[in-house]
Chains A and B, each alone.
Chain A
Amino acid sequence: QVQLVESGGGVVQPGRSLRLSCAASGFTFSSSGMHWVRQPPGKGLEWVAFISFDGTNTQHVDSVMGRFTISRDNSKNTLYLQMNSLRTEDTAVYFCVRGPVRWPFDVWGQGTMVTVSS
Chain B
Amino acid sequence: EAGVAQSPRYKIIEKRQSVAFWCNPISGHATLYWYQQILGQGPKLLIQFQNNGVVDDSQLPKDRFSAERLKGVDSTLKIQPAKLEDSAVYLCASSSIRDRAYEQYFGPGTRLTVT
Bound pair (A, B): no
| A-to-B contact residues, CB < 8 Å | none
